[in-house]
Amino acid sequence: MDIIKTEGLEYAYPDGTQALKGISIAIEKGSKVALVGNNGAGKSTLFLHFNGTLRPTRGMVIIEGKPIKYDSKSLINLRTKVGMVFQDPDDQIFAPTVKQDVAFGPLNLDLPRDEVDRRVKYALKSVGMEAYADKPPHFLSGGQKKRVAIAGVLAMEPEIIVMDEPTSALDPQGSLDIIEILDELNADGKTIIFSTHDIDLAAMWANSICVLNEGKIIKHGTPDQIFADHTMISETGLRLPTFVQTFRELKVRGISGGDSPLTMLNFVESVSKPFDVLKARCTIAGADVCAGENVGLIMKNGTLCTIRVDADLNAKTTAFGRVMHNAKAGEDIVVSEITGTITPKTGEINIVPIPRIIEGGSRAVDLETIRAVIAEHSPHKIGAMGTSAKVVVRKAGIQCDFEVDVIQSSILAALRGLNVMVFATGGMIERVIQKIESNNKHSGQEIKFSSLAIQASL
């Protein structure tokens, strides 16, 4: 179902600037959409139509199948459904304290006081601004104000979240935190739309990307459709994602092959040609290895290792190389004249479901059980997805390897032969499983996975 639709949307500002020139766009419920385009393309103007702040000069905006009505009652209703974070937080924040500002929306919904408090606390925690609850917003930095504005929208728990350049004023960690929150909300069924200049982020995060230029939609499609159109990319002054650029450089040098990758995962797969020289760990125990010796190469626990060709019959070596210098077991060694292909035995991904906030969240989990499950499986890498899962891992004092881009990082590690444990909340569990299954289908390398139910301790 299209949750937002516009038909022939035109808008001229009072000074005559024609900012939108016939925009027809359809946004599917539950999708993650990135809007990209140069300064002045009309991104902010378009967004301001989604919650009725601006009224089209021509055409219309349809939310959940119904055209927007512009009487004040309908608009109040609309804004509980469409939460908007403005590009400039100063347009949004006005209460005397941070806490009051975030509470403003929920209070206007006539929610009970304790529900308002719960939402405000959750929203401020999500954006890492709890410590600033009683501060006046005008003392905050630009990035902090942005976080407060985002908290204000989160506290409304709207069905559709629209954010105008949410990460532009944030530091790298702050941006990743926001993206993680958006992913979690999306896994719970919310539709998320944001504008950004960060092409890498759009490529990594969005299911669909919409390119806007001079008030018109140039193209709306999946990231692969968008980034396959190199002419459009250069004509609109955008750029390709970094991994696509890297791929192209490697391809002309004969190292990468096939079609342009869509993700880091595809990019790694595209490096098909064996390298001439590799660094490997010498695991030949007992005797030293000598320059000129022929060795087998295998991937073991994520590390490329050399083994004796003749002795280690069980290892079923499919790749070989020539040792460049003398070494002892445990030392790194340079190997040349590589033949064959190195196909590691893939690792496993164990998913541990952590209850959502509404199911008791991290409080419903016994930390001893968490430590026990880790001790039992002794994973090489640990990841956490979602607020509850992150809190659990932190409370249990566990060092987490993956906190952002967890699914892709876990699959990449498993493909190198590492065992991964992922703590995940709610709808994110299905996401992990879907992604592993689709990767297994495409790559032909079978990553085993399982869901480990743990005992709740409420």
Ligand X SMILES: Nc1ncnc2c1ncn2[C@@H]1O[C@H](COP(=O)(O)OP(=O)(O)O)[C@@H](O)[C@H]1O
Rule CB under 6 A: which residues touch ligand X?
Answer: 13, 15, 17, 19, 37, 39-45
Smallest gap from Cβ 302 to Mg ion, in A, equals 43
- 40 vs 292, beta carbon nearer Mg ion: 40
The conformation of residue 346, written as its DSSP 8-state character, comes to P
- 45 vs 362, beta carbon nearer ligand X: 45
Q: Classify strands 348-354 and 448-451 as parallel, antiparallel or unpaired.
A: parallel
Smallest gap from Cβ 15 to ligand X, in A, equals 5
* H or E, element range at 233: helix 230-235
- Give the C-alpha separation, 150 to 177, whole Å: 12
Token couple for 20: 């939108």
- Residue 355, amino acid: P
Within 10 Å of residue 275's Cβ, how many Cβ atoms? Answer: 13
Residues that bind Mg ion (CB under 5 A): 43-44, 87
Smallest gap from Cβ 87 to Mg ion, in A, equals 5
The interface partner of residue 356, options being Mg ion, ligand X, none and the CB cut-off 5 to 8 Å by kind, is none
The interface partner of residue 37, options being Mg ion, ligand X, none and the CB cut-off 5 to 8 Å by kind, is ligand X
- 44 vs 362, beta carbon nearer ligand X: 44
Smallest gap from Cβ 16 to ligand X, in A, equals 8
The interface partner of residue 39, options being ligand X, Mg ion, none and the CB cut-off 5 to 8 Å by kind, is ligand X
| Dihedral sign from CA coordinates of 11, 12, 13, 19 | positive
Rg (CA), the chain: 26
- Give the C-alpha separation, 368 to 362, whole Å: 13
The interface partner of residue 144, options being ligand X, Mg ion, none and the CB cut-off 5 to 8 Å by kind, is none
* H or E, element range at 83: strand 82-85
The C-alpha angle with vertex 128 and arms to 358 and 140, in degrees rounded to 5, equals: 140
Token couple for 80: 């509980």
The interface partner of residue 40, options being ligand X, Mg ion, none and the CB cut-off 5 to 8 Å by kind, is ligand X
Smallest gap from Cβ 155 to Mg ion, in A, equals 24
The interface partner of residue 42, options being Mg ion, ligand X, none and the CB cut-off 5 to 8 Å by kind, is ligand X
- 87 vs 270, beta carbon nearer Mg ion: 87
Smallest gap from Cβ 60 to ligand X, in A, equals 18
